[in-house]
Amino acid sequence: MKKFVRDFELIANKRINREYYLLVLKSPERLPEMLPGQFVEIRIDNSKDTFLRRPISLYDVDMDKQLVYLLIQEVGKGTRKLAGLKAGNSLNLIYPLGNSYSLPEEKAKVLLVGGGVGVAPFPLLAKFLKQNNVEPEFLLGFRNKELLVDLADFEKYGKVFLSTDDGSAGEAGTVMDHSVLKASSFPYVKVYTCGPQVMMKAVSKFAEELQLDCEASLENTMACGFGACLCCIQETVRGNLRVCKEGPVFNTKDLIW
């Protein structure tokens, strides 16, 4: 897929909760095909203490309106800087980067299991699944109800099962404690996961025990984002692979983690 570098206009910077915000960016031209699981690299301008771009997963893409949606958590200097941007600001993006999630072999129900800001790739993934006659349902975990995302962005594609660590919304505990994973039958043919590594490993193990295909989208510190620097490697059965190029989506059976 051809990659582009362009200045986008920030249309809106919506506060989602005290840690997350959603950037809505308008492309100066028709967008190329953008696949679920892919990401963009944002240049952080006018910032002396950040040097590299920040890789951010695609939350949603509106091809007709030429809009890109990015759900971001404030975790460091770069994401704090982006949080302060206002409509009308310009942002330089490299896109689309990385590989993408793949469809299940069988057109049936699939489960998307996400934790925290790791739910970010799911709206675009769910849209893609629906377009291909696959039924997505979601199992989403958050620390508490104050840190939820806008669930309507997920509910429009399928049922959402919710868990919070403190039980303030949905079931109490982690996603692994949720009744949907404890039920006697598991009506899904494939599992997609994104979130903290400890959660993804648990989800992957769960899927493996049921002999289900599982794809995980990994996070890693990147310098370039397009395969040149070899900084963001993940150990796999095929050797060290680049999360930015061969990933960020991996079939969990290939991962050594």
x/- binding map, residues 32-71, to other proteins, per CB under 8 A? -----------x----xxxxxx------------------
User: Is the omega angle on the peptide bond into residue 32 within 30 degrees of 0, that is, cis?
Assistant: no
Which residue is it, tokens 């949606």?
A: 69
Site residues for other proteins, 224-253, by CB under 8 A, read 224-235, 239-240
Could you say whether residue 201 binds other proteins (CB under 8 A)? no
Which of these, 118, 78, 9, lies nearest to 222 by C-alpha position?
A: 78
User: Pattern of binders to other proteins over 142-181, x per CB under 8 A?
Assistant: ----------------------------------------
- CB closer to other proteins out of 167 and 239: 239
Write the burial class of residue 182 (CB in 10 Å: 0-12 exposed, 13-18 middle, 19+ buried): exposed
Q: Of 28, 24, 123, 22, nearest to 79 (Cα)?
A: 22
Which residues face 216 on adjacent strands?
193, 250
E strand intervals along 187-243: 190-194, 213-217, 233-236, 239-242
- Phi then psi dihedrals of residue 222, to 5 deg: -120, 145
Q: How far is the CB of 59 from other proteins (least distance, A)?
A: 23
Among residue numbers 83 through 112, which ones bind other proteins (CB under 8 A)? 94
Q: Which listed residue (12, 103, 189, 223) binds other proteins by CB under 8 A?
A: 223
- Closer residue to other proteins, CB minimum distance, 210 or 229: 229
Strands (E) in the chain, as ranges, are: 4-15, 20-26, 39-42, 54-57, 60-62, 67-73, 90-97, 109-115, 135-142, 160-164, 171-172, 190-194, 213-217, 233-236, 239-242, 249-251
Look-up: residue for tokens 């983690």? Answer: 257
Q: Which is nearer to other proteins, 148 or 243 (CB)?
A: 243
**Residues in contact with other proteins, total (CB under 8 A)?**
30
Cβ-based nearer residue to other proteins, 4 or 186: 4
Q: Which residue lies nearer to other proteins by CB, 46 or 221?
A: 221
CB of 100: closest distance to other proteins in angstroms?
17
**Residue with Cβ nearer other proteins (151 or 223):** 223
- Shortest Cβ 128–other proteins spacing (Å): 23
Within its chain, how far is the Cα of 74 from the centroid?
A: 15
Other Cβ atoms within 10 Å of 135 Cβ, number: 18
Find the shortest distance in angstroms from Cβ 86 to other proteins.
Answer: 23
Which residue, 186 or 257, is less far from other proteins as judged by CB? 257
**Rounded least distance, CB 53 to other proteins, Å:** 6
Applying CB under 8 A, the residues found at the interface with other proteins are 2-5, 43, 48-53, 94, 220-235, 239-240
